[in-house]
Amino acid sequence: MAWTCSGATNTALIDNMWKNGLITDARIKEAFLKVDRANYSPSMPYEDSPQPIGYDATISAPHMHASAIEHMLSYILPSSSSPAPRVLDVGSGSGYLTHVLAELVGERGLVVGVEHIEELRLLGEGNMSKSDEGRRLLESAKVRFRLGDGRKGWSEAPREGEEGWGTGWDVIHVGASAVEIHPQLLEQLKAPGCMFIPVDDDESGYNQHVWRIEKDGNGEITRKRLFGVRYVPLTDAPRRAW
């Protein structure tokens, strides 16, 4: 069904995912409509398929981004317990999902994209700068792109005026397949909080499943295996030859 969702325009792509039940919440649909995938995909932006973006990385198919948000939505949206949601996007790549997430966290929220390759960090930031809304998000510091090893999580200061809500993460999205559910990410997940992470099933790296990790208010963790996927690996940054 997902592969029938491609369209000639951004609106057609999102409408097709909505009609086929891949987006089920109107708030998610509205967020996707605000972000033109053409600013983030180097070719065929409205195809419901992954696209290479260089450095052995990809921008995932739109239906995979929609699935990630569907499974984490209640933690992404502002609430009485978390009026300023903090979201960590590990392996932010093109910056597309980072931008969509920023459309959902409310005016007081924070989304941080972490990349271990400087060129990809700059790519995400540059792509977001192509639109007026993207530039506003960057200038307000509601979205930040950082260079680092996302497997170790990330420590980011709160936005000005939000210091009382701590430095952990309400949501952690991992955009590449990990060899394990890294303990540093679990430690940085708030209670309550939610993580969406693809994990290798074996050492081959060919068998992968997405896991939804949920931490309740008491810090108890539950893990649910969702579905099989094929993601690029979450690896060390490549060594440079000087």
194, 72 Cβ separation under 8 angstroms: yes
- Residue of 6, 43, 60, 94 marked active site: 60
Element (H, E) at 215: strand 208-215
- Length of the chain in terms of residues written: 242
54-60-64 Cα angle (round to 5)? 170
CA distance 242 to 224: 44
Whether cis (ω within 30° of 0) applies to the bond prior to 238 is no
**Residue that has been written with the tokens 């929609």 in this structure:** 66
* C-alpha distance from residue 106 to each of 28, 74, 86, 131, 161 (Å): 13, 13, 10, 19, 14
* C-alpha distance from residue 90 to each of 11, 164, 241 (Å): 27, 24, 25
**Which residues make beta-bridge pairs with 223?**
213
Strands 221-229 and 208-215: antiparallel
Our answer to whether residue 80 is catalytic in this structure is no
**Residue that has been written with the tokens 């419901």 in this structure:** 48
Could you list the active site residues? 60
